[in-house]
Amino acid sequence: MKMVFHYPNGSSYTASKQSTTAKQHHETIYGGRGMTLEDELNAANAYYLQIGRAVVHKKPTPIQIVKVDYPARSKAVIREGYFKTPSTTDYNGVYRGWYLDFEAKETKNKASFPLKNFHQHQIDHMRACLVQDGLCFVVMRFAVLHRLFVVPASMVIVAWDNQQNSRKSITLATIIDAGFELTPQLEPTVPYLDGVDWLIKKKVGASSGNKFERN
């Protein structure tokens, strides 16, 4: 335990360099300090893989390779390459017989999640996966609020399709109502499978389970 001295007004002795204890407490609870949501999801996936709970990987960024050198006695070096636009979401895998497909998105906003965080190809891909009965969702973080949700893809798609006539963001209230709020843990810091269990319950209308245990 680190001692922190407070002035009578409650501010910390070393306030100029440090967060308040309340803020520190928050950061401790919410884990993954200094990690991006992507880093935390990669760690969650590594953990889930290790304990045999799910097999989910982030897809590599597609690169158009134009020029490769093969230096003697060394491995191949890419000398000219370009980033390509992906045609899918970033994450997919399998969990108890279910196909999982999701995107991770973060905002600094406090009241709503802007749809400009999404791209047409992600919406198209999630729509196609839903038709095939995949479980599609977005892991959505409100960074400033330290709140994290699993939001069904269907909800994002509806908002996307209506954005010309309606608002260009999804309100936090809507997300609280129609999404699943994750409770951060020590490991994984982003326990998104809790949200997937909730999605499965909604879908099959029963206790979450492996599809093969349902008959």
Nearer to its own copies, 4 or 65 (CB): 65
Residues in 122-181 that interact with its own copies by CB under 8 A? 125, 128-129, 131-134
Q: Tell me whether residue 103 is annotated as binding.
A: yes
Burial class from Cβ neighbours inside 10 Å (0-12, 13-18, 19+) for residue 139 reads buried
Work out which of 96, 117, 158, 163 binds its own copies, going by CB under 8 A. Answer: 96
Nearer to its own copies, 64 or 165 (CB): 64
Tokens standing for residue 1: 């335990």
The rounded distance, in Å, linking the Cα atoms of 86 and 15 is 44
Are 81 and 65 a contacting pair, CB within 8 Å? yes
Site string for its own copies, 59-78 (x = CB under 8 A): xxxxx-x---------xxxx
Residue 6 sits in the site that holds its own copies (CB under 8 A) = no
Nearer to its own copies, 29 or 63 (CB): 63
Rg (CA), the chain: 21
Candidates 17-25, 29-37, 51-59, 186-194; binding stretch for its own copies (CB under 8 A): 51-59
Q: Tell me whether residue 88 is annotated as binding.
A: yes
Closest Cα to residue 95, out of 39, 49, 127, 37?
Answer: 49
Residue 36 sits in the site that holds its own copies (CB under 8 A) = no
Residue 83 sits in the site that holds its own copies (CB under 8 A) = yes
Residue type, 129: C
Give the chain's count of helices (H) and strands (E). 6, 10
Residue 119 sits in the site that holds its own copies (CB under 8 A) = no
Tokens standing for residue 169: 């963001």
Work out which of 22, 29, 51, 94 binds its own copies, going by CB under 8 A. Answer: 94
**DSSP secondary structure, 65-87, as one string:** EEEEE--TTS--EEEEEEEPPPS
The rounded distance, in Å, linking the Cα atoms of 22 and 76 is 50
Candidates 17-25, 85-93, 103-111, 181-189; binding stretch for its own copies (CB under 8 A): 85-93
| Contact footprint for its own copies (CB under 8 A) | 49, 52, 54-55, 57, 59-63, 65, 75-84, 86-88, 92-99, 101, 125, 128-129, 131-134, 210-212, 214-215
